[in-house]
Amino acid sequence: MGCQTCTQQQEGGSILSSFPDKASELEQHIDSLEITHNISRNRGHLIHCLHKAQELFGYLPEDVQLLIAKKLRLNLSDVYGVISFYSFFTTNPPGKYKINICLGTACFVKGADKILKEFEKRLGIKDGETTEDLKFSLGGLRCVGACSLAPVVIVNGKVYAKVDPGMVEGIIKDCDKEQK
Amino acid sequence: MEKQITFTIDGKTIKASPKDTILTAAEKNGIVIPNLCYNKEVSCTAACRLCIVKIEGRPGFHPSCAMKAADGMKVKAFTDEIEKQRRIILDLLLSAHNDDCINCKKDGDCELQDLAFKYNLGRDSRDFPPIWEQLEETSDSTSQVLDYDATKCIQCQRCIKACQEKQGKGILTFANRGIKTTVTTGYPQWNASLCDGCGECQQACPVGALTMKPVYSPNNRVRQKDIEKTTTTTCPYCGVGCQIDVSTINNRIVKVDGHNDIPNHGSTCVKGRFGLDFVNHPERLTKPLIRKDGKFEEAEWNEALKYTADRLVKIKTEYGSNSVCGLSSARCTNEDNYLFQKFMRSIVGTNNVDHCARL
Amino acid sequence: MMIKSLQELSEYTEELSDSRSNTGDINVLVSLGTCGIAAGAEEVHKAIRKTINENNLGHRFNVIETGCMGLCFCEPSIELEDTKNGKSIIFGNVKPENSEKILNTDFQSEPKEIDIIEKGWYYPDEAENTDNYLQAKIALRNTGRINPEKIDDYISHSGYKALGRVIQDMKPEDVIDEITKSGLRGRGGGGFPTGKKWTFAAAQSTEEKFVICNADEGDPGAFMDRAVLEGDPHSVLEAMTIAGYAINATKGFIYIRAEYPLAIERLELAINQSREMGFLGKNIFNSNFSFDIELRFGAGAFVCGEETALINSIQGLRGMPSNKPPYPAVEGLWQKPTIVNNVETFANISTIIRKGHEWFRKIGTEDSPGTKVFALAGKIQNVGLIEVPMGTTLKNIIYDIGNGIADNKKFKAVQTGGPSGGCITPDYLNTPIDYDSLKKLGSMMGSGGMIVMDEDDCMVDIARFFLDFTVDESCGKCVPCRIGGKQMCGLLEKITKGKGTEKDLRILKSLSETIKNASLCGLGMTAPNPVISTMKYFAHEYEEHVYDKKCRAGKCQELITYSVIPDKCVGCTACKKICPVNCISGKVKEPHFINSDKCIKCGECYRVCKFNAISKS
């Protein structure tokens, strides 16, 4: 047990001290919001702040959560409860290549489940996981609305259309090539 | 006088206040509509859906805990159709609940167990296969005084709401969503959180998900039905004077709950709930000690009182009243403390009197 | 520049059309929505621009970057429009190298190697339907026609005229009256009368009220809201402001999915432009009415499309629905009266105000006036976004607009309403579609996703897919949805694996009823719909899975038997080599044999066989 300020100080090697620029950008961003005495109204900024933080750090580790909680005068439980509810937020560092497979209905009827399985097989990880070398993370995605291109795979924003399981190896190789 | 409303439940006329929900009105009239997430001390959740009823003129089923009773309403609460839904809901709850009742501290004191018994939902009578083992939920027993067993949790929110609304702490929340929902403090471990262990949450828990660590009987597991006697008394700690229910077996305290009355309405703090272990502590003073030749020695009460009175009189005559100071204890009752200050002021004759209410 | 009155607005509109006459007569509309961009529309756009610049054709052509035209099956698509005579031609599947040919079009003869796409729609607010078009665009009237990043484009298409009229000439109750009389129903799913919702909120006498636009389009296979926000953001802003005036709210929120970055970008731009012109902010049209709009982002939770969950999410809470009543119109965002309408609903508002409720009622059916946008996807030829009058038959949609089933397969069912809806079979193709007819069929309008399925789709598997989705997206608050959904999914899985029993079918039925009856929110109540409707119309498929251990679509892996057709097998050994469990035997150039006891049904042999010599049954 202990108060939030102490727990924060104890964690020396935190992501906030590793990236002071990003940390101060986040703080400034939150400060620029309209924070009033009304805590329930302040809380309305929470999801927005989490988006901002994840954009900066790639994920939402505990000390980032604590920072946001402190700034918005919330409990950590308020912040964590929200993070774990929404699938967009993650508390684990993501892989360098985020392979997302659209699992919307149109993609599903065109075989997206097979593509996901093929990726799982090739990368040796399951849906929602990241490879140990932090190179690939694999995730199913809700409908991205590109149903005409179904099935769709998106790797770091790059769209692969009309994918079949045979193309999976090529997509992984594309990432390797890019890295070189 | 407050206006009364009249409506019917399954044909029976019910009189209630306009503030009543169907559920509370029924309860006041001796009709218990099954429920699990309802807790009259916190806001309505309407999550367990066991208390659903039908209301004439309105399509669908409605949770009676959330529906205000209204004049002339015709409510059906125990038709075959509704009972069938309840049975299915209970069946579902049991499939996601670790039903190893033999090993559960709440055996015999579990609202889910009671309902399962009532609806004849033994393992052989259920339709749904157990899935609680597949869910891989995270339990947490790092708190010094509480245990959270996620496999038993039924996600009723009573703990979360008790922490937020009754204690105003907001330590607890849900983690994840859907079938993976569990209760968490948001920290990786319970003991890293700001939880002070008041235990309000476990008192609200209808099942064995949140329980007290066996602080009073570390070597003996105790269930509710083992308790021999429960005594309602005043908490010996601070000046609030909370009412507590002290449960004992063989004259030893095994559990303390908040008593639902003024001033605390069922709540206690961590000390009131878990701090009474001194009562049976071997080092507890049960006899007065008098220092003789630099050593404390046990004495009889009469001897001790006489010794104290003699010394006080002597000091007062030799050095005056203001050379004496009285320090009283917050762990005594209000009446004791009143008497003490009266004694100091009128008998000893000094205003040098203080009290350790700053616990 | 600030517009202070209707007078100033019409003067400004005239100014715009004057300045437009200086540019070319031919509009080149390049569709730059998310899917267009993904298909390569940006390269095409660059090539067109380049061709125009290099050949100094700027006096002739006026390139307009628009949102989605709805022709997803042939993206990138380009429309050429002759403003002098109203002629137009649409090119599909355009490549950058086609740009010269496209610009040389005479609007009649077809240039080779470029697809010409038929334009099957008209704009009811501008003209009568003289060509008997099946599609009528009201909500999508500007999407794919104007540049969404230019407020001037919107204004010259009668934009903000309705808002001006409302504020200058109408009382709030008149506005609500107009909407009520128009019979407009919520386009987000339930079909609740919009006017009624507004009336409830207007009747509340609190100081603070809110207008929320639900842009958390989560139905898999539905993307109409994204198209509107990307292609015509101002129409939503204008409508929200009108709603604000009608119920006396001063603040609006658009709750939008974070997965729609382009829509967010364009909305932000539109809000700023709108503020600069004085359509948002203080004293709009020089009146006492002030209104502003802010964006709020979703974060990947389908349930937040439910209005109470959405409100909780805007408040920074977990997106768990609350029990209704109280309804948001009485007690919503921060306990204040709040109306929540979806994007498409709002996209209809300003046209209704401009043209009047009588005009609106002429389109569609008696109980469901107006049009509905559908996202047509799945096994259909022409995947796309369409807008048809209510009452159009499914047959018209699938065969006339969608051009039938892809790959010459047999049509099996169409799934409407996403995970909350149900399947409709070929028997009901002639049903005119509106809220009530779909409900009668056991489906629902939902947000308008329409997934077409063919003979290769197993209905039990489809039901399992949707339940899987609901289990994943269930908030976990109420028991029937949280555990019931999971158990239901387990039962369906068991059936698709050939392990289902008669009892399972019975349990499935009673469980669906309980989830439907006892769940807390709309998501839960409608979650069993895919099961209920497939069990109703495709009972034989369930029975086949359970009793015969067969999947007629060949989708359920565990129920498939692979075998070699000896007559066709040439003995190439390809299957033998690929088989991971070595269950195929046979000599070179002789028919092979699959040992079905050892077979793990991975389907690799079926995939590699070049001679169609492996049968799957």
Cis amide bond preceding A151, omega within 30: yes
Tens of pLDDT along C360-388? 999 999 999 999 999 998 899 998 899 99
For residue C382 the two structure tokens come to 């022409």
State the CB neighbour count (10 A cutoff) for residue B219.
Answer: 5
Same fold, C151-359 and C371-454: no
Residues counted in chain A:
180
Distance (Å, rounded) from C-alpha B43 to C-alpha B58? 24
Mean pLDDT for chain C? 91
CA distance B47 to chain C (A): 4
Tens of pLDDT along C518-536? 999 989 999 999 999 999 9
On the question of pLDDT at A103 being above 60, the answer is yes
Q: Is C176 helix (H, G, I), strand (E, B) or coil?
A: helix
Determine the average pLDDT of the residues in C544-564.
Answer: 89
- Predicted confidence at residue B165, as pLDDT, reads 95
Q: What is the ipTM of this complex?
A: 0.89
- Predicted confidence at residue A12, as pLDDT, reads 46
Q: Where are the domains of chain C?
A: 23-119, 151-359, 371-454, 459-548, 561-616
State phi, psi for B54 to the nearest 5 degrees.
-110, 145
**Which runs of E-coded beta strand occur in A24-130?**
97-102
With CA atoms as reference, the chain B residue closest to A89 would be: B176
Tens of pLDDT along C122-138? 999 988 888 889 999 99
Angle at the Cα of B279 from the Cα atoms of B298 and B259, rounded to 5 degrees: 150
| Cβ separation B49–C471 shorter than 8 A | no
On the question of pLDDT at A180 being above 60, the answer is no
Q: Give rounded-to-5 percent helix, strand, coil for chain B.
A: 30, 20, 50
Task: Confirm or reject CATH 3.10.20.600 for domain C371-454, answering yes or no.
Answer: yes
Partners of C614 in the β-ladder: C564
| Cβ separation A105–C465 shorter than 8 A | yes
Of A2, A3, A78, the CB nearest to B173: A78
Answer whether C480 touches B (CB < 8 Å): yes
- C83 pLDDT tier (thresholds 50, 70, 90): confident
Partners of B173 in the β-ladder: B184
| Cβ separation A105–C449 shorter than 8 A | yes
Q: Is A149 helix (H, G, I), strand (E, B) or coil?
A: helix
State the CB neighbour count (10 A cutoff) for residue C385.
Answer: 31
Q: Which residues contact A61 (CB under 8 A, 6 or more apart)?
A: A14, A15, A91
Partners of C374 in the β-ladder: C386
Determine the average pLDDT of the residues in C490-500.
Answer: 94
Instruction: For chain A, state the CA radius of gyration.
Output: 19
Of B175, B177, B191, the CB nearest to A80: B175
Of B175, B195, B196, the CB nearest to A81: B175
Chain-centre distance for alpha carbon A131:
15
| Percentage above 70 pLDDT, chain C | 99
CA distance C322 to chain B (A): 8
Distance (Å, rounded) from C-alpha A46 to C-alpha A36? 14
State phi, psi for A174 to the nearest 5 degrees.
-55, -40
- A179 pLDDT tier (thresholds 50, 70, 90): low
Instruction: For chain B, state the CA radius of gyration.
Output: 27
- Predicted confidence at residue A146, as pLDDT, reads 72
Most B CBs within 10 A among A66, A70, A72, A77, hence the mutation to make, goes to A77
Partners of C89 in the β-ladder: C80
- The domain defined by C23-119 folds into Glutaredoxin (3.40.30)
Tens of pLDDT along B232-289? 998 888 778 899 999 999 999 999 999 999 899 999 999 999 999 888 888 888 899 9
| C236 and C347 Cβ atoms separated by less than 8 Å | yes
- C119 pLDDT tier (thresholds 50, 70, 90): confident
| Percentage above 70 pLDDT, chain B | 99
| B37 and C511 Cβ atoms separated by less than 8 Å | no
- Predicted confidence at residue A11, as pLDDT, reads 46
Q: How far is CA C596 from CA B153, C601, C602, C611, in A?
A: 45, 9, 12, 20
| Percentage above 90 pLDDT, chain A | 31
Of C219 and C357, the structure prediction assigns the larger pLDDT to C357
Determine the average pLDDT of the residues in C67-80.
Answer: 88
| Cβ separation A40–C334 shorter than 8 A | yes
Mean pLDDT for chain B? 92
- What is the SS3 string spanning C235-297? HHHHHHHHHHHHHCCCEEEEEECCCCHHHHHHHHHHHHHHHHHCCCECCHHHCCCCEEEEEEE
With CA atoms as reference, the chain C residue closest to A142 would be: C220
Q: Which residues contact C530 (CB under 8 A, 6 or more apart)?
A: C415, C419, C421, C422, C423, C462, C463, C466, C467
Tens of pLDDT along B22-73? 999 999 999 999 999 999 989 999 999 999 999 999 999 999 999 999 999 9
Residues of C in contact with A152 (CB under 8 A): 38
Of A139 and B15, the structure prediction assigns the larger pLDDT to B15
DSSP designation for C584:
E
On the question of pLDDT at B356 being above 80, the answer is no
DSSP B207-219: SSSEEE--SS-TT
Determine the average pLDDT of the residues in A54-82.
Answer: 93
Q: What domains can you pick out in chain A, each with its CATH number?
A: 3-85 (no CATH), 97-179 (3.40.30.10)
Mean pLDDT for chain A? 84
Residues of B in contact with A3 (CB under 8 A): 194
Class of domain C561-616: alpha beta
Which chains reach chain C with 3 or more Cβ–Cβ distances below 8 angstroms? A, B
On the question of pLDDT at B83 being above 50, the answer is yes
B5-78 has which CATH code?
A: 3.10.20.740
Distance (Å, rounded) from C-alpha A4 to C-alpha A150? 48
Distance (Å, rounded) from C-alpha A116 to C-alpha A100? 9
Pick from C303, C278, C307: nearest CA to C292: C278
How many Å from the N-terminal Cα to the C-terminal Cα in chain B? 43
- Predicted confidence at residue C21, as pLDDT, reads 67
Largest pairwise CA distance in chain C:
89
On the question of pLDDT at C223 being above 90, the answer is no
| Cβ separation A76–B186 shorter than 8 A | yes
Tens of pLDDT along C568-607? 888 888 888 888 888 888 888 888 989 888 888 877 788 7
CATH architecture of C459-548: Up-down Bundle (1.20)
B225-284 has which CATH code?
A: 2.20.25.90
- C560 pLDDT tier (thresholds 50, 70, 90): confident
CATH 2.20.25.90 placement within chain B = 225-284
Tens of pLDDT along A110-139? 888 888 988 998 898 888 888 888 889 898
Task: Confirm or reject CATH 3.40.50.300 for domain B104-213, answering yes or no.
Answer: no
Angle at the Cα of C244 from the Cα atoms of C238 and C245, rounded to 5 degrees: 95
CA atoms lying within 13 Å on the CB side of residue B349: 10
- Predicted confidence at residue C319, as pLDDT, reads 95
- A4 pLDDT tier (thresholds 50, 70, 90): very low
Q: Which residue has the tokens 């700690």?
A: B237
Cis amide bond preceding B263, omega within 30: yes
Please state whether C378 falls in left (phi above 0), alpha (psi between -120 and 50) or beta: left
Distance (Å, rounded) from C-alpha B239 to C-alpha B257? 18
| B207 and B111 Cβ atoms separated by less than 8 Å | yes
- Predicted confidence at residue C200, as pLDDT, reads 95
- Predicted confidence at residue C217, as pLDDT, reads 85
- The domain defined by C151-359 folds into Rossmann fold (3.40.50)
On the question of pLDDT at A140 being above 50, the answer is yes
Q: How far is CA C570 from CA B31, C611, C614, in A?
A: 78, 8, 11
Under 8 Å CB pairs connecting chains A and C tally to 131
Tens of pLDDT along C139-188? 999 999 999 999 999 999 999 999 999 999 999 999 999 999 999 999 98
Of B184, B185, B192, the CB nearest to A7: B192
Which chains reach chain A with 3 or more Cβ–Cβ distances below 8 angstroms? B, C
Determine the average pLDDT of the residues in A95-117.
Answer: 85
| Cβ separation A76–B187 shorter than 8 A | yes
Distance (Å, rounded) from C-alpha C403 to C-alpha A152? 23
| Cβ separation C226–A145 shorter than 8 A | yes
CATH 3.10.20.740 placement within chain B = 5-78
Tens of pLDDT along A6-53? 444 444 457 888 888 999 999 999 999 888 888 888 899 999 999 999
- Predicted confidence at residue B1, as pLDDT, reads 59
